A and B are shown apart, each in its own frame.
Chain A
Amino acid sequence: MRNLDTTFAALSDETRRAILGQLMQGEARLSDLAEPFDMSQTAVSKHVRVLSNAGLLVVEKRGRTRHCRLNASVMKEASDWIADYETFWTQQFANLAQHFSQRGPRPPKEPQE
Chain B
Amino acid sequence: MTLPDVATTEPGDVLIIVEGHFAATPAEVFQAWTDPAIVKQWFGRVPNSLHSATIDLREGGAWRFLESSGEEKSVGFEGAYLVIEPDARLVFTWSKVIAHASGAREATPASQVDVTFSPSGDGTDVRLVHSSVHDEVTRHAFGGGWAFAFNTMRALLSTS
- The chain A residues found within 8 Å of chain B, CB to CB, are 1-2, 4-5, 7-14, 17, 20-21, 24, 70, 72, 75-76, 78-79, 81-83, 85-86, 89-93, 95-101, 106, 109-110
Contact = CB atoms under 8 A, between A and B. Distances in A.
A90 B108 CA distance: 20
B37 interface: no
B16 A86 contact: yes
B23 interface: yes
A90 to B, nearest CB: 6
B18 A82 contact: no
Interface residues of B, number: 47
Contacts of A101: 23
Interface string B46-80: 11000000000000000000000000000000000
A5 B156 CA distance: 20
B20 A97 contact: yes
A12 B41 contact: no
Interface in B1-49: 15-16, 18, 20, 22-25, 28-29, 32, 38, 41-47
Q: Interface residues of A: mostly helix, strand, loop or mixed? A: helix
Contacts of B24: 100, 106
Contacts of A97: 20, 22-23
B106 A2 contact: yes
B126 interface: yes
B144 A82 contact: no
A89 B129 CA distance: 10
Contacts of B107: 1
19 contacts: A8-B141, A8-B143, A8-B145, A8-B149, A10-B145, A11-B145, A12-B140, A12-B142, A17-B148, A72-B157, A78-B145, A82-B16, A89-B128, A95-B42, A95-B46, A96-B22, A97-B20, A98-B47, A101-B23
